[in-house]
A and B are shown apart, each in its own frame.
Chain A
Amino acid sequence: MALKVEYINPFIEAGTEVLRKTTQMTVDRGKPSLDNGLFRVPDITVVLGLVGDLCGQVLYGFSVETAMGIASRMMGGEEVTEMDDMSRSAIAELGNMITGNAASRFSKLGLNIDVSTPSLITGSNMRITWPLHNALIVPVSTECGEMVVWLSMRERDKE
């Protein structure tokens, strides 16, 4: 079954709530588009696997500057001058909290999802090949810069 555009909404709502609680920032959601394989993944990207009634992957991508700004706010305003172990852990945990919050929102719609532990990818000029199907991309503006949410997900096949 194809990826439904409305599946992105719980992730954006979750992102808005989690960023507000952890960084006191408000966010603005951009227009969703389809990843046709030409998009480059930002320098710092958190990847989580989704298994259950809906299966797939969700990614949260940031520039290094944005990731440092968000990590600093998550650490109570502590100065962050490089993406060290603690900053990387903070950004990975941000992805974990957003996805966990989104999973709770899906469960209220009757869809149960388990979430993997987050992995953090660091690098530049990377592309993603989606194994199952296309992915949706939604840019989210924050006071620290842009967070890009990628979602590649489908409903589990009915038995």
Chain B
Amino acid sequence: MPKVLVVDDAAFMRASLRKILEPAGFEVSEAENGAVAVNTYQEVAPDVVTMDITMPEKDGIQAVKEIRALDPAAKIIMVSALGQENMVKQAILSGAKDFVVKPFDGERVVESIKKAMG
């Protein structure tokens, strides 16, 4: 079963993504900020990461950079409420594969994860 690491400081958002991803056949693990995400990535070795941007401790953009430094093949999708062009560019430049804007359609997230997995 492919593994997805869901990174978001909002418990509600982690639960929402779990509700979408588990029935779609993914094993889900969670991290509540960027710092925890970097550690959990190494422990879990997920196939794909969904990453929020604005989080305490360490933001999503910095976490993407650190995870990509550890694993240049890491597949990371940003899932954020901040969908302005400069934020999307910043995320893609830091190594994210895709950008899903909240509030999202569940099918859009699943499709993006499947596409990232190739």
Q: Using CB atoms and an 8 Å cutoff, list the residues of chain A in contact with chain B.
A: 18, 21-22, 74-76, 85-86, 89-90, 92-93, 96-97, 99-101, 103-104, 106-107, 112, 114-117
Contacts and interface: CB of A to CB of B under 8 A. Distances in A.
B56 A107 contact: no
A150 to B, nearest CB: 19
Given A86-B11, A93-B10, A107 B86 contact: yes
B12 A104 contact: no
Given A89-B11, A96-B10, A104 B54 contact: no
Nearest to A89: B12
Interface size class, chain B: 20 to 34
A115 B59 CA distance: 12
Main secondary structure of the interface of B (DSSP, over half): loop
Interface of B: 9-13, 15, 19, 54-56, 80-86, 101-103
A116 B54 contact: yes
B99 to A, nearest CB: 12
A22 B81 CA distance: 13
A74 B12 contact: yes
Contact of A97 (B15, B19, B81): B81
A96 B10 CA distance: 10
Given A112-B86, A115-B54, A101 B11 contact: no
B13 A100 contact: no
Given A86-B15, A116-B54, A117-B56, A104 B84 contact: yes
A24 to B, nearest CB: 11
Contacts of B82: 100, 103-104, 114-115
